[in-house]
Amino acid sequence: MTWRVSDLVELVELEEKVGSWWHRFVTRHSEVHHPDAQVKLEEIQQLLGIWFRALGGDGALEVAGADATEMNVRRNLLQRVAGTHRRFHLAWLDENALRLPPAIDAFPERSLNRDLYLWLAALAAMGHGAERAPWFLHNQQLTLAALERWPGLWEKYQALVRAHLQQRPHPGRLPPDEREQELAIREALVEPGSQERLPPAGRPPAPVPLWLHPNPPAPTVMPAVEPPRDPEATGGRTRELEEVPRKQTEQAEQPESDRGLITVRMENIFSWGEHVHVDRGTEDEEDETRADEVARDLDKISVTRHGKAAKTRLKFDLDLPSESEDDQVVNDGILLPEWHWKQRRLIPDHCRAVELVAADAEPVPLPERLKKTATKLRNQFQALAPARIWYKARPDGSEVDLDAYLRYRTDRASGCDVPADNLYREMRAGARDLACLLLADLSLSTDTWIDDHTRVLDVIQDSLYLFAESLAATGDQFGIYGFSSRKRDPIRIHLVKHFDEGYGGRVRGRIAALKPGYYTRLGAGIRYATEVLKAQGAGRRLLLILTDGKPNDLDQYEGRYGIEDTRHAVQAARNLGFHPFCVTIDEKGNDYLPHLFGSTGFVVIRNPAELPAELPLLYARLTAQP
């Protein structure tokens, strides 16, 4: 029999089409999902954060997506053929976040899927600070605590239990040991606290989506990684992936060189999760969307270092800083403490802040694009400046103070021997008893592009220009500083404008010379700014913090550690009578800033392009408060 090429192509296409039909059929019938009733975490993430904290959850924890974890549960024949029912999205708490499934479509009613999110957040709120018992008993204790403290949840919980019991394996179809286990779980769900122990079995039970994870993955701590030395290594186009949970990581060795072809039987590759040291160049991948798929599917990211430029760069909580030129060092710096939240103590002299100044910054005029806005803001801010007033009874002045002179003549006429002083008056401009320090975050993330023409750093620079123009019109005392960090030593403090320095072309030149730095050790930056404000004699002192993300650094200053240290620094500034206020363009700022600055101590600017015009007006509102 003779085959034509066209016949072979049609046969292959038919085989692929039949295979895709079979895959969809088996997958659809192996697991029960209700995509029409699906609720995504991103839809109610902000609500869940408020709900979790309102019920007593830890305010330092953010609400984030949970990775799927593999569980060796019993599967039926159809599930084994389809290769499903192996990985599950469950909820758990770690030291940084409340991890919830990225989407829930387990129930046919959307209201039930939404209620499951609310129930899991309530359950996790009861687990804050609680002593951890075995998984089976622990979740019953959390359920009882939630239902006793919030009786209004009873109806939602019972509806969720009824719906979930219909989906659990039938006890009669299980082996005796697994049957006893399943019956105990069912009793514990219907009547929390009724079961003290989970009967042992050869396999783990089917997952319970109404409870927290029995064995949550431990967060992986990667060793500190220095910025790449090769400037070409930062080439390529960067794209930020959305809806990608924080990935676990492991360090892997880079293959020595490109040593040719390796033959792999494709039928032996079952998942992306198996790391193999394949000798493959970084520019071999032509399809950029394939990199997205791999990043989303991997449970654990293997990270290595080399000096070659990648064709595609993806950003999802695994970005590394680039080298930047140092400014001139002003002094050896000052030592600052740092709060260790696990040890509950302040570590003295733990960080070193080094002051730098852009010595080669030439005086520059205000950019032409900002002149119209600056003129409008100056006119508005001049109204904030106190009016010129007469200072009376002065030893000297431009005019005689008639009131003081008449009192003097009257006293002398009555026989009182009073000195002839303080008989003049002088017109002077009033002054507000106010000092403001603006602390700008200059970390690597400011090098991110917000559109085709503007970076975050460009927006920050424009904001500093207009802020300085506005405050110069009021006569208020103000200083401008930038900061970034590279571990705890050094904390780089960029001096843009001292309090005792006038605003002019040289200050604008320093603003124009600002460059993206490294990381954001925010607690150290706030403590340095607090020390500077201590030297100002104003009765009211405002610390304005401009940032675009969460506290982070190369070492342990990540997640909960950085959050708690920053919160401690903010509270210390408030205890001194200062007024710290945070302005951020981080869309996720509402998740963690209330814990740091309080509900009224921050503002999130949704559109970064609006920051330059909004920052001076925000200052006007803050300083207008009594």
Other Cβ atoms less than 10 A from the Cβ of 621: the count is: 9
Q: What does the block give as tokens for 238?
A: 């960067």
| 46 and 98, same domain (yes or no) | yes
Does the structure show a pLDDT above 90 at 348? yes
Q: What is the pLDDT of residue 232?
A: 44
- Residue 49 CB contacts under 8 Å (≥ 6 apart), including other chains: 62, 63, 590, 591
Calculate ∠ Cα 603-352-514, nearest 5°.
55
Does the structure show a pLDDT above 80 at 525? yes
Does the structure show a pLDDT above 50 at 60? yes
For residue 436, being part of any structural domain is answered with: yes
Q: What is the pLDDT of residue 246?
A: 53
For residue 19, being part of any structural domain is answered with: no
Q: What is the pLDDT of residue 157?
A: 95
Residue 552: which CATH number? 3.40.50.410
Does the structure show a pLDDT above 70 at 423? yes
Predicted confidence band of residue 541 (pLDDT cuts 50, 70, 90): very high
Q: What is the mean pLDDT of residues 214-228?
A: 61
| 518 and 588, same domain (yes or no) | yes
| 401 and 483, same domain (yes or no) | no
For residue 44, being part of any structural domain is answered with: yes
Q: What is the pLDDT of residue 247?
A: 55
Question: Of 8-22, 152-166, 584-598, which one has max mean pLDDT?
Answer: 152-166
| 492 and 450, same domain (yes or no) | yes
Q: What is the pLDDT of residue 422?
A: 80
Q: Pick the range with the lowest mean pLDDT from 199-213, 405-419, 570-584.
A: 405-419
Does the structure show a pLDDT above 90 at 346? yes
Q: What is the mean pLDDT of residues 552-579?
A: 92
| 153 and 108, same domain (yes or no) | yes
Quote the domain boundaries for residue 516: 328-383+432-624
Three-state secondary-structure class, residue 533: helix
| 485 and 345, same domain (yes or no) | yes
Q: What is the mean pLDDT of residues 577-582?
A: 94
Q: What is the mean pLDDT of residues 216-229?
A: 56
Does the structure show a pLDDT above 90 at 508? yes
Q: What is the pLDDT of residue 275?
A: 44
- Residue 493 CB contacts under 8 Å (≥ 6 apart), including other chains: 333, 353, 354, 355, 356, 481, 482, 483, 525, 528
User: pLDDT digit string (tens) for 132-183?
Assistant: 788 999 999 999 999 999 999 999 999 999 999 998 888 888 899 989 999 9
Total number of domains constituting the chain:
4
Q: What is the mean pLDDT of residues 569-588?
A: 93
CA distance 575 to 497: 26
Q: What is the pLDDT of residue 387?
A: 52
For residue 497, being part of any structural domain is answered with: yes
User: pLDDT digit string (tens) for 434-478?
Assistant: 899 999 999 988 988 888 889 999 999 999 999 999 888 888 889
| 584 and 560, same domain (yes or no) | yes
Q: What is the pLDDT of residue 121?
A: 94
Please identify which residue in the block is written with the tokens 């320095």.
Answer: 501
Contact 295, 241 (CB under 8 A): yes
Contact 160, 146 (CB under 8 A): no
For residue 534, being part of any structural domain is answered with: yes
Does the structure show a pLDDT above 50 at 210? yes
Of 139, 173, 190, the residue that ends a domain is: 190
| 309 and 349, same domain (yes or no) | no
- pLDDT: which is higher, 9 or 142: 142
Does the structure show a pLDDT above 90 at 532? yes
| 593 and 473, same domain (yes or no) | yes
- pLDDT: which is higher, 296 or 468: 468
Work out the mean pLDDT of the chain and round it to a whole number: 80
Q: What is the pLDDT of residue 279?
A: 44
Q: What is the pLDDT of residue 84?
A: 67
For residue 408, being part of any structural domain is answered with: yes
| 376 and 476, same domain (yes or no) | yes
User: pLDDT digit string (tens) for 49-59?
Assistant: 889 989 988 88
Of 293, 315, 337, the residue that ends a domain is: 315
- pLDDT: which is higher, 395 or 61: 61
Q: Pick the range with the lowest mean pLDDT from 71-80, 123-132, 613-622.
A: 71-80
Q: Pick the range with the lowest mean pLDDT from 75-89, 111-125, 318-332, 525-539.
A: 318-332
Does the structure show a pLDDT above 60 at 539? yes
For residue 308, being part of any structural domain is answered with: yes
Does the structure show a pLDDT above 70 at 607? yes
Other Cβ atoms less than 10 A from the Cβ of 600: the count is: 8
Contact 608, 450 (CB under 8 A): yes
Q: How many Cα neighbours within 13 Å face the side chain of 46?
A: 7
The conformation of residue 346, written as its DSSP 8-state character, comes to E
Contact 51, 118 (CB under 8 A): yes
Pairing outcome for strands 39-40 and 345-357: unpaired
Q: What does the block give as tokens for 538?
A: 């104003």
Of 429, 459, 486, the residue that ends a domain is: 429
Predicted confidence band of residue 22 (pLDDT cuts 50, 70, 90): low
Q: What does the block give as tokens for 41?
A: 């975490």
| 85 and 55, same domain (yes or no) | yes
The torsion defined by the Cα of 549, 551, 552 and 555, in degrees rounded to 10, comes to: 180
CA distance 561 to 552: 9
Does the structure show a pLDDT above 60 at 314? no
For residue 171, being part of any structural domain is answered with: yes
Q: What is the pLDDT of residue 306?
A: 54
Q: What is the pLDDT of residue 183?
A: 94
Predicted confidence band of residue 280 (pLDDT cuts 50, 70, 90): very low
Contact 300, 248 (CB under 8 A): yes
| 297 and 351, same domain (yes or no) | no
